């Protein structure tokens, strides 16, 4: 049985050029994500006011609306707001431990609890709720377009992957005419793999009879291995997506790891990879197409964990290389010695390699050889590693979208790295809430990449002025850096996809949805809309905490401030009825296999729950220059606290035997519907 189903050594990729894997073999020497001298993280502590030094800027004045529609102007540039988690008391007690199946159900329940001092605002999890369905739908649309190709006005703007695989298969078979029997054996082995992938993808490959039999047997054996072949996540939305999942999973070559690890550099593996590489070497157009697909997935998810067959090109001269795969192996490994890890954790050859991530790199370095110790929670391990500095989340020059998504979550675990930290006094309880936010959004993001990886008053005449107290007003959970980094992740993705797919692809294709419909806007339009919304939330929450917005000049040139603010205000006016926010958030995704027990460890979101946050200005760090806004006759009252309900997501880490097929979303949600608590849901999953 495999020790690991997703490897983690990085692979560089640059969009749209033959250099999409320029120094890929540096994967063996890539700097570890582990900082050896880092120490374990301490338990979260309350922030100290002595560490806060916000600077007063007389020009940074905002207008906000308070009780009785009183509108005041105030300067919050030197404010510090304390954020704490309020106890669930009185009518709120029944929220403790309760989970809801959907956000809408939670919103409706909270309607009976909200008032002027207990308001409901969108949490970061809810903001991610409007992003997650788009992320899934975008990835699904790209998978479909990349598989079949995209034609606009009868002109092919993107060549499909299925046609490429058929052409590659023909290229491999064509080499047999000049091959010796020994060479032909490797060519036929490669052809059988390509044929099996096409069969799994729903095609009928053109193969010699004996190779056809091998291909059918390999496809059937792979389909029977549910742990690696069963479509999950958004890939269950349509039969076409299920076929793409199986086809590309097969071409990721997990067969060399499952059901038992094999030598990834055996003569058979080297010979098969070399046979495919020789076919690419013989056809420059085919090679360009192949490198284009590699570039697509290196940016759409992340650089690769395993080795594309083109890693052998520098060592190939012709069919004679197939006579001695051992010589190829010796030259390859002499130039680039592999890591000292078991076979299952060595990079292996693949036509379409899987992508690495910071978390799987870390887990494999620690647990591939020994297994995951009893009682270890991988999510807690990951959080501790990031907080202690053993993992650095900052993207590098080769990072893909998934790295940028993960980097957006960094300040949830290391709040001091966000500029808003000078304006927020976080209690230990609120920091633990931010850790929960990391858990849920990390799980949602990973599930999207599940196949490729290894969310004015009125005053009457002569009446006394209306008095209103002043309190922290938040349009959304106030973490501007999270919104800014997430916007930048979408901006990166749009730029990258336009380079590797072409602007016509993004301007023509629309996202898929779980209910079988397609989006109203093109991918290009929706990518820009999501970025504008997030930039807008950055502006509004920066105003709310008193910090200066941090967009770069090139960002404001592409996304004007006024447009972004309007986009955010428009969404905030109707966020509770946003169709994407209303979608079922419950997902489950495999993360790691434990070789010691045979369990697969999953991260799961079994539902949503409600918490309450308390916000109050710290004494001595209140707003300055507070007064009625133009046209308002209200009188400024006292500085008082405000409490906000936040709908967040429940998280669970689950161990399921590897013999149990991965649960689909529908199966997982049915189990969630049958039980009332997270503990009951986990027990039911582990008993399957």
Residue 493 lies in a domain: yes
Share of residues in the chain with pLDDT > 70 (%):
93
Domain housing 83: 49-114+583-686
Q: Does residue 641 contact residue 471 with C-beta atoms inside 8 Å?
A: yes
Grouping H, G, I as helix, E, B as strand and the rest as coil, residue 591 is strand
Last residue of a domain, one of 555, 573, 591: 573
Q: Under DSSP, is residue 349 helix (H, G, I), strand (E, B) or coil?
A: strand
- What average pLDDT does the segment 86-100 reach? 94
Q: How many other C-beta atoms lie within 10 A of the C-beta of residue 59?
A: 7
Helix (DSSP H) and strand (DSSP E) numbers for the chain: 22, 19
More confident residue, 485 or 33: 485
- Give the tens place of pLDDT for each residue, 647-676: 999 999 999 999 999 999 999 999 999 999
Is residue 467 situated within a structural domain? no
CA-CA distance, 226 to 129, in Å (whole number)?
Answer: 29
pTM of the model: 0.91
Do 323 and 188 share a domain, yes or no? yes
Average pLDDT in the chain: 90
SS3 content of the chain, % helix, strand, coil (to 5): 50, 15, 35
485-499 in b/e form (b: 16+ CB < 10 A) is: bbbbbbbbbbebbbb
Q: Does 407 have pLDDT greater than 70?
A: yes
**Residue 477 and residue 123 in contact, taking contact as beta carbons nearer than 8 Å:** yes
What pLDDT score was predicted for residue 19? 33
pLDDT tens per residue across span 272-309: 999 999 999 999 999 999 999 999 999 999 999 999 99
609 shares a domain with 523: no
Q: Could you tell me which residue, 504 or 262, shows the higher pLDDT?
A: 504
Would you say residue 42 lies in a domain? no
- Same domain for 221 and 98? no
- 3-state DSSP assignment of residue 615: strand
Hey, is 195 helix, strand or coil? helix
Q: How far apart are CA 355 and CA 352, in angstroms?
A: 10
User: What pLDDT is stored for residue 345 in this prediction?
Assistant: 80
Shared domain for 452 and 403, answered yes or no, is yes
Are 504 and 619 in the same domain?
no
Q: Do 187 and 246 belong to one domain?
A: yes
Q: Is 613 helix (H, G, I), strand (E, B) or coil?
A: strand
DSSP helix/strand/coil, 608: strand
Q: In this structure, are 91 and 163 located in the same domain?
A: no
Confidence of residue 482 (pLDDT cuts 50, 70, 90): very high
* 3-state secondary structure at position 449: coil
pLDDT of residue 464: 62
How far apart are alpha carbons 666 and 232 in whole angstroms?
10
Pick the more confident residue, 458 or 80: 80
pLDDT at 632: 78
Task: Give the C-alpha separation, 71 to 357, whole Å.
Answer: 47
Residue 221 CB partners (closer than 8 Å, separation 6+): none
> Which is higher by pLDDT, 64 or 454?
64
Place 460 in a pLDDT band, splitting at 50, 70 and 90.
very low
Domain boundary among 573, 605, 639: 573
Q: How do residues 538-597 score in pLDDT, each as one tens digit?
A: 999 999 999 999 999 999 999 999 999 999 999 999 999 999 999 999 999 999 988 888
Of 133-147, 445-459, 475-489, 547-561, where does mean pLDDT reach its minimum?
445-459
pLDDT of residue 16: 36
Same structural domain, 157 and 253: yes
- H or E stretch covering 201: none
225 and 347 inside one domain = yes
528 Cβ partners below 8 Å, 6+ apart? 494, 559
CA torsion sign for 231, 237, 239, 241 is: negative
Residue 290 maps to a domain? yes
Distance CA(72)–CA(329), nearest Å, equals: 73
- Looking at the structure, tell me whether residues 200 and 349 fall in a common domain: yes
**Integer Rg of the chain from CA:** 27
Report how far apart the first and last C-alpha atoms of the chain are (Å, whole number).
20
Q: Has residue 461 got a pLDDT over 60?
A: no
How far apart are alpha carbons 476 and 473 in whole angstroms? 9
Alpha-carbon distance 470 to 626, whole Å?
9
Domain membership of residue 470 (yes or no) is: no
Looking at the structure of the chain, the number of domains it has is 3
């Amino acid at each position: 049985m495999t020790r690991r189903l997703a490897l983690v050594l990085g692979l560089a990729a640059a969009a749209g050029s033959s250099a999409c894997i320029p120094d890929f073999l540096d994967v063996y020497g890539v700097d570890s994500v582990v900082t050896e001298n880092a120490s374990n993280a301490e338990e979260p502590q309350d922030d100290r006011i002595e560490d806060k030094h916000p600077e007063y800027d007389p020009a940074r004045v905002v207008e906000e609306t308070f009780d009785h529609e009183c509108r005041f102007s105030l300067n919050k540039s030197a404010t510090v707001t304390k954020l704490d988690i309020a106890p669930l008391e009185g009518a709120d007690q029944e929220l403790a431990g309760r989970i809801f199946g959907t956000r809408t159900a939670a919103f409706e329940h909270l309607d009976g609890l909200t008032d002027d001092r207990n308001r409901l605002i969108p949490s970061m999890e809810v903001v991610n709720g409007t992003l997650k369905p788009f992320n899934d739908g975008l990835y699904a649309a790209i998978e479909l377009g990349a598989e079949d190709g995209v034609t606009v006005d009868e002109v092919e703007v993107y060549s499909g992957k299925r046609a490429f695989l058929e052409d590659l298969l023909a290229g491999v078979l064509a080499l047999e005419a000049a091959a010796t029997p020994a060479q032909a054996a490797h060519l036929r082995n490669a052809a059988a793999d390509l044929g099996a992938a096409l069969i799994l993808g729903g095609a009928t490959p053109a193969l010699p009879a004996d190779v056809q039999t091998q291909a059918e047997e390999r496809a059937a054996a792979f389909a029977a291995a549910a742990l690696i072949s069963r479509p999950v996540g958004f890939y269950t939305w349509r039969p076409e997506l299920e076929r793409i999942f199986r086809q590309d999973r097969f071409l990721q070559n997990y067969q060399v790891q499952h059901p038992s690890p094999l030598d990834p550099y055996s003569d058979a593996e080297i010979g098969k990879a070399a046979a495919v590489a020789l076919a690419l070497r013989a056809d420059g157009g085919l090679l360009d197409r192949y490198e284009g697909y590699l570039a697509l997935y290196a940016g759409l998810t992340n650089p690769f964990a395993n080795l594309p067959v083109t890693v052998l090109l520098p060592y190939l001269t012709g069919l004679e290389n197939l006579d001695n795969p051992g010589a190829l192996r010796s030259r390859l490994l002499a130039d680039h010695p592999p890591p000292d890890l078991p076979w299952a954790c060595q990079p292996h050859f693949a036509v379409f390699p899987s992508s690495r991530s910071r978390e799987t790199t870390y887990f494999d370095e620690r647990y591939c050889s020994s297994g995951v110790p009893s009682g270890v929670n991988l999510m807690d391990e990951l959080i501790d590693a990031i907080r202690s500095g053993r993992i650095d989340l900052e993207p590098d020059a080769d990072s893909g979208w998934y790295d940028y998504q993960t980097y957006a979550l960094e300040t949830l675990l290391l709040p001091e790295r966000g500029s808003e930290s000078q304006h927020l006094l976080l209690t230990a309880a609120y920091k633990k809430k931010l850790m929960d936010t990391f858990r849920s959004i990390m799980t949602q993001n990973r599930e999207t990449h599940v196949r490729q990886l290894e969310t004015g008053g009125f005053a009457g005449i002569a009446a006394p002025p209306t008095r209103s107290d002043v309190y922290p007003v938040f349009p959304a959970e106030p973490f501007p850096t999270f919104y800014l980094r997430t916007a930048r992740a979408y901006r990166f993705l749009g730029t990258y996809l336009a380079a590797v797919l072409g602007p016509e692809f993004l301007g023509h294709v629309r996202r898929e949805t779980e209910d079988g419909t397609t989006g109203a806007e093109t991918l290009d339009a929706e990518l820009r809309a999501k970025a504008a919304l997030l930039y807008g939330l950055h502006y509004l929450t920066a105003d709310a905490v008193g910090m200066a917005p941090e967009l770069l000049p090139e960002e404001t040139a592409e996304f004007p401030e006024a447009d972004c603010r309007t986009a955010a205000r428009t969404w905030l006016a109707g966020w509770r009825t946003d169709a994407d926010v209303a979608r079922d958030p419950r997902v489950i995704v495999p993360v790691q296999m434990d070789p010691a027990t045979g369990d697969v460890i999953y991260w799961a979101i079994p539902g949503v729950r409600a918490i309450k946050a308390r916000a109050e200005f710290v004494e001595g760090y209140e707003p300055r220059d507070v007064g009625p806004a133009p046209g308002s006759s209200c009188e400024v009252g006292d500085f008082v606290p405000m409490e906000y309900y936040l709908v967040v997501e429940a998280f669970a880490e689950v161990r399921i035997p590897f013999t149990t097929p991965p649960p689909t979303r529908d199966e997982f949600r049915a189990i969630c519907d049958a039980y009332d608590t997270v503990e009951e849901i986990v027990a039911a999953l582990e008993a399957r």
